[in-house]
Amino acid sequence: MGIDTNSAYVFQSWDATSISLSAACDLFMRFVTRTSHLEHEKFDAAKSRLIERGEKFGEISLKARKTIAMLSQDFIYDGCTILVHGYSRVVLEVLKLAASNRKLFRVLCTEGRPDRTGLRMSNELAALGIPVKVLIDSAVAYSIDEVDMVFVGADGVVESGGIINMMGTYQIALVAHTMDKPVYVAAESYKFARLYPLDQKDMTPAHRPIDFGVPIPIGVEVETSARDYTPPQYLTLLLTDLGVLTPSVVSDELIQLYL
């Protein structure tokens, strides 16, 4: 299968607001072109080397979720209750492996407004035989006493060690931190982005339409932002295919990835 490096730019143009897509494309270009031999090789040899490295990047990315799932098993124990937010494929992989290992646990799923991705997550977990309870997003503080840990995914892991993820992640982390509940982030290394947001508004806007089920009066403003920024001090550990990391070492890992 041939690897066209122009595809990275095409993918990025599909959704300029997707941090994970942008970061993955940047890392793909760095990984594929990271060799001094290219400038000394003939065209066919250089092309073959680019294709080989591109396919290698694909293999690493495909294995990332399984690696994270295996590393996460030490943090899930019998009898625990896990809070998840929205739909994350890597978090689903973590919980799926735990269930296949016959660990006994239950999951609280937020509804995940506005697109109700949490309902999709709850359906998939229930199909695996995992006990699930669905919460409206605003019931997290009310239910936090039932929770032993929080597992969330990430749209992007930024240089500060914080994460950008679906709206509501920040407030969940705040509640968990206040109640001394660990917050684990499961994220593939290709989501590490060279960004350093200083506040909630310091990000490329990403919006989602919201259906409240009733007409909204003309002139009433509606917040449609789809994601928020969770600072590193509210996160316990990052579970990645590079290993289990504290938020403070993310900048060092980013330097290694982009060298």
pLDDT at 223: 86
What's the CA gap between 103 and 222, in Å, rounded?
42
Q: Which residue has the tokens 């006493």?
A: 145
Catalytic one of 15, 44, 74, 155 = 155
Going along the chain from its start, the domains and CATH numbers come out as 68-258 (3.40.50.10470)
Question: Which among 180, 129, 151 is positioned nearest to 238, based on CA atoms?
Answer: 151
Q: Quick check: is 155 catalytic?
A: yes
Higher-confidence position of 37 and 89: 89
pLDDT in the model for residue 197: 87
Calculate mean pLDDT across residues 181-202: 89
List, for residues 77-108, the tens digit of each pLDDT value: 999 999 999 999 999 999 999 999 999 999 99
Structure confidence by residue, pLDDT tens digits, 140-159: 999 999 999 999 999 999 99
Alpha helices by DSSP H, the chain: 6-14, 19-33, 43-72, 89-100, 117-127, 140-143, 169-178, 250-258
